[in-house]
Amino acid sequence: MRALFLADAHLHHPDDANYRLLLRFLEEQRDKVDLICILGDLFDFRIGLPALDFPEQEPLLAALAALSGSGIRLIYLEGNHDFHLGTAFAAQIGAELHSGPVVMELDGRRVYLCHGDLVNPADWRYRLLHLALRNRLTPLIGGLAPGALVRGIRKRLQKASRKRYCHDKARWDYAAIIRSFATDVREQGCDALVLGHFHYPLFEKNGDFTLLSLGDWIDHFSYGLYENGEFSLSSFSAVP
């Protein structure tokens, strides 16, 4: 079993460096991996509302569909920048789509997968926002709103998210938050935790438990790998 884990590419446009690099990286995975797990925020913004379309995301979606079509199992966990994606999105790329954490088995090991946006219990402001945006009524209300209004809200959410990230990075001790959550996951009987969201690459082994925080595909171009019964954290070089 060879599994790949990615999160937080925050893709905008196919001409962007991280977008082009991710396409190249995924193409190189063909015939090399059995499973690809995307742990949220692959795009900087994608919410499944009728008034929104995302033509700039089609090259990446086509690449994912080609990989799943070749027999690679694809798992997609929604993040805080990509949610309410829906069954049509999952069918387009051939993925198993999840709106929350997943516990899966890899060679008999219980692995806890999550995006990570709800890991910090002290961030109550974000938790309230999460409840509001992820409510089942949100797509229904959004579907009735004029397109111009929905696109305006999209821009405000993107701007607020960038501002909040800079604020949170200075305010919170990400390593401590991640390690504390890992302790909880281990107590639940899991053998590993893999998460994203924090843009903080971290790989630690504590006895038979593995902690893997994926970093991002913006500054670190980092990804997780499971191979021959072991996890690792790597970075993809921009050099061809």
The stretch 109-138 carries a mean pLDDT of 86
Give all strands (DSSP E) within the chain, no chain letters. 2-6, 35-38, 46-47, 73-77, 82-83, 96-98, 102-106, 109-114, 192-195, 201-206, 209-214, 222-227, 230-235
- pTM recorded for the entire structure: 0.89
The stretch 80-92 carries a mean pLDDT of 93
49 pLDDT higher than 90: no
pLDDT score, position 237: 79
pLDDT score, position 63: 97
pLDDT score, position 132: 76
Where residue 213 falls among pLDDT bands split at 50, 70, 90? Answer: very high
pLDDT score, position 240: 46
pLDDT score, position 239: 47
The stretch 22-26 carries a mean pLDDT of 96
Where residue 160 falls among pLDDT bands split at 50, 70, 90? Answer: low
10 pLDDT higher than 60: yes
Give burial (CB, 10 Å; 0-12/13-18/19+) of 193.
buried
pLDDT score, position 184: 97
Where residue 51 falls among pLDDT bands split at 50, 70, 90? Answer: low
Q: Which residues contact 157 (CB under 8 A, 6 or more apart)?
A: 45
The stretch 24-39 carries a mean pLDDT of 96
Backbone φ/ψ region at 6: left (φ over 0), alpha (ψ -120 to 50), beta: beta
CB count within 10 Å of CB 183 equals 12
The stretch 128-146 carries a mean pLDDT of 65
- Domain covering 2-235: architecture: 4-Layer Sandwich (3.60)
Where residue 146 falls among pLDDT bands split at 50, 70, 90? Answer: low
Q: Where are the domains of the chain?
A: 2-235
- Tell me: the pLDDT tens digits for 178-211? 999 999 999 999 999 999 999 999 999 999 999 9
The stretch 219-223 carries a mean pLDDT of 96
